């Protein structure tokens, strides 16, 4: 497998927003097959997707396609600036901190900074939640439909990709979030009648 040719092929199957906002980087020294680190809001550069191509080439094409679509959707769907209560509190906290700093009010600065930190932490947690992981998987499946896969095929390839990537990384068991994701994908791939419990989806 030529790395340049594979990167070009992967870029072709990405959604247009993925090509604009992300960058595929070869990283042979990493233990993960593919890694799309969580991007902080101040990162204005293309969000990197790191791939260990020595491991990557050992996955079938369908699994590679779904893993790259999943990684791309993971990065482009990070919602730092979705208008909601937490974003408004962060904005108000930042403005309050600036105003109180100008006035030299230490207590006001402390309260404003505290509000900002608490709300920013909640936004971070929302972006790392199990529900968001499931939503990202489903978003990848929708893109796969536009690339010629059926929903059942796409769910099966993503499921197998998660499991096989773990084996290539030397992991004998999946972590909790991966177990939830694979159970949901089994349901979508018609491999199981048991889906994720409703309380985990919330």
Quick check: 159 and 186 in contact, CB under 8 A? yes
Q: Cα(168)–Cα(180) distance, rounded to whole angstroms?
A: 20
Q: Cα(138)–Cα(131) distance, rounded to whole angstroms?
A: 11
Strands 47-51, 34-35: pairing is antiparallel
Radius of gyration of the CA atoms of the chain, in A: 20
Q: What is the pTM (predicted TM-score) of this model? A: 0.76
Give 22's strand partners. Answer: 47
| Count of other CB atoms within 10 angstroms of residue 182 | 21
Residue-wise pLDDT tens for the chain (202 aa)? Answer: 899 999 999 999 999 988 988 999 999 999 999 999 876 655 667 899 999 999 999 999 999 999 999 999 999 876 555 555 555 555 555 666 566 566 666 666 666 566 556 655 555 555 567 888 999 999 999 999 999 999 999 999 999 999 999 999 999 999 999 999 999 999 999 998 877 766 555 4
| Count of other CB atoms within 10 angstroms of residue 143 | 20
Give me the pLDDT at residue 131, please.
85
Give 160's strand partners. Answer: none
Which of these, 192, 66, 175, lies nearest to 130 by C-alpha position? 175
Q: Cα(188)–Cα(192) distance, rounded to whole angstroms?
A: 8
Strands 47-51, 22-26: pairing is parallel
CA atoms within 13 A on the CB side of 21: 17
């Amino acid at each position: 497998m030529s790395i340049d040719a594979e990167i070009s092929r992967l870029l072709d199957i990405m959604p247009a927003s993925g090509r604009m906002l992300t960058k595929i980087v070869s990283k042979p020294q990493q233990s993960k097959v593919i890694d799309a680190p969580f991007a902080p809001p101040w990162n204005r550069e293309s969000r990197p997707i790191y791939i260990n191509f020595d491991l990557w080439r050992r996955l079938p094409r369908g699994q590679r396609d779904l893993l790259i679509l999943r990684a791309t959707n993971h990065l482009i769907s990070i919602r730092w600036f979705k208008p909601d209560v937490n974003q408004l509190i962060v904005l108000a906290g930042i403005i309050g901190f600036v105003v109180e700093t100008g006035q030299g009010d230490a207590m006001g600065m402390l309260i404003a900074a505290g509000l900002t930190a608490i709300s920013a932490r909640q936004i971070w947690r929302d972006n790392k939640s199990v529900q968001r992981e499931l939503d990202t998987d489903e978003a990848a499946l929708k893109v796969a439909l536009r690339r010629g896969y059926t929903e059942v095929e796409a769910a099966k390839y993503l499921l197998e990709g998660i499991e096989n990537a773990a084996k290539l990384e030397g992991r004998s068991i999946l972590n909790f979030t991966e177990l939830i994701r694979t159970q949901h994908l089994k349901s979508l791939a018609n491999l199981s009648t048991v889906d994720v419990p409703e309380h985990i989806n919330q």
